[in-house]
Amino acid sequence: MKPETMTPQERFDAAVNLRKPDRVPVCPLGFLFAGPLTGMTMAEFYTDLDAATAAQRKIFADLGGWDVVGLSGGTMTDPFPLTAIYPNKMKLPGRDLPENAIMQFDESEPAMVVEDYDIIIKKGWNHFFFSHLLPRIMPGYGGGIFGTIKAISKLLRFQKSFKKDIRYWESRGIPSLVGMACVVPYEMFSTARTLQQFILDLYRHPDKVTAAMDAALPDVIKTTLRGTKALGVPRVFLAGERGAGDVINPQQFDQFYFPWLKKLVNALIDAGITPLFHFDSNWDRNLSYFKEFPKGKCILDLDSATDIFKAKEILDGHMCLMGDVPAPLLTLGTPEEVSDYCKKLIDEVGRGGGFILSSGCSVPYDAKFENIKAMIDTAKTYELSKG
């Protein structure tokens, strides 16, 4: 087997810059699986950050390590930063769900009413979020000045601990995939309103919705730039799922989604930040839109609902792709099946470079150890063993 000739950071940078690294970089996204695999219940994993962090570091070592750590620390378990981008109630394991479930958004009731668009139009998103929306989602936080200070200090505490975790990995030569996270106003509104109500708003109040999206975007950009500076990782997790082709129609994508996505992405790129599109659901129909973003400046991370092979055809030489070992394969498949799929990804999507091998969305919390290992080991050995 040929030796590796790059550090994880160099390998990662090469892929993002559309070059061919010594071998494909691998990033099993998220760390929820560290709970069950180290004997913790999910309820413990969500509530005891120190123990969860220790579990993440242990499982990283047990699996032999990998190139890029994505969404470590409390990023997937702390309700506060998640609420800031997905503003609705959450159900937690051990509290609202069985001990070994994962946290989920509860969109059974809207947290925001139609009249709230007017507040956003007048006062911006941050004012609306802290003064009006947050107390409805998390009573005791936001609302008046004291509640707002309480909420901001929670967010800063999270930021501090995440920053510490990022530095821990950096000190071991492992780059973090992203620091700050954000979404376009469409995604925030549709979570707060619930998807169904929001879709009805698009039919019933289109002008109000777009005016509120215009008013919200500057706050999204400001918060994202500020957070990026604080965390010191020049890559942003830009999540998207409800603008996908299997959710929204083409005319609505043009009318309500893409213009704001473009403005947000351009603002990030202008500030020297690489946006990572973590785009779940099926974006097949919208893939050519990604050509409108500058070459080599973004990463498109797909969850296996989008055809990543088609994405390669369309975006080859233009945008780094990341993905997409499917959740059912990691949970129910065998190591051989995982390895075979990874080889196919490396051969086809990794051809010529510009590819990061990863799970489709985050690795499921109930993925099998040997399947995650098969993914990592295939990345480490497949290309280097070839003649």
Partner 1 sequence: MKKNEITQHLVDLNELEILDLVRKELEGGADPLEVLDACREGMIIVGKRFEAGEYYLPELIMAGEIFSEVSEILRSVIKEGSAETKGTVVFGTVRGDVHDIGKDIIVGILRGVGYRVHDLGTNVETEQFVKKMQETGAPILGLSGLITTAYNSMREVIEALDKAGIRKRVKVMIGGGVTDERVRVHTGADAYGNDPTDALKLCAQFMGGN
> Residues of 179-199 as b/e, b for ≥16 C-beta within 10 angstroms?
bbbbbbbbbbbbbbbbeebbb
Site track 36-75 with partner 1 (rule: CB under 8 A), x = hit: ----------------------------------------
Which residues are 356's β-sheet partners?
A: 322
Q: Which of 18, 102, 181, 273 binds partner 1 (CB under 8 A)?
A: 102
In this chain, which stretch among 19-27, 176-184, 193-201, 376-384 interacts with partner 1, using CB under 8 A? 193-201
Task: Supply the DSSP string of 18-80, one letter for each residue.
Answer: T---SS--EE----TTHHHHTT--HHHHHH-HHHHHHHHHHHHHHTT--S-B-S-TTTTT-HH
Tell whether residue 87 is a contact of partner 1 (CB under 8 A): no
**177 CB-near residues (< 8 Å, 6+ apart):** 27, 29, 68, 69, 70, 71, 235, 237, 276
Query: Given the rule CB under 8 A, which of 61-69, 131-139, 219-227, 239-247 is the region that contacts partner 1?
Result: 239-247
Among residues 224 and 304, whose Cβ is nearest to partner 1?
Answer: 304
Cβ of 135: how many Cβ atoms within 10 Å? Answer: 17
Residue 207 interacts with partner 1 (CB under 8 A)? no
The dihedrals phi and psi of 172, each to the nearest 5 degrees, come to -105, 10
Whether the Cβ atoms of residue 90 and residue 105 lie closer than 8 Å to each other: yes
Asked if 200 is part of the footprint of partner 1 (rule: CB under 8 A), the reply reads yes
Q: Which is nearer to partner 1, 231 or 327 (CB)?
A: 327
Of 18, 84, 178, 202, the one binding partner 1 by CB under 8 A: 202
Residue 333 binds partner 1, judged by CB under 8 A? yes
Draw the binding track, 244-283, toward partner 1 (x: CB under 8 A; -: no contact): -xxxxxx-x----------------------------x--
Residue 206 binds partner 1, judged by CB under 8 A:
no
Nearer to partner 1, 140 or 250 (CB): 250
Q: 67 and 376 in contact (C-beta within 8 Å)? A: no
Restricted to residues 106-125, the positions that interact with partner 1 (CB under 8 A) are 106-108
Distances from the Cα of 30 to the Cα of 14, 71, 169, angstroms: 22, 5, 14
Using CB under 8 A as the criterion, which residues of the chain lie in contact with partner 1 when the complex forms? 91, 97-98, 100-102, 104-108, 195-196, 199-200, 202-204, 245-250, 252, 281, 305, 326-329, 331-333, 364-367
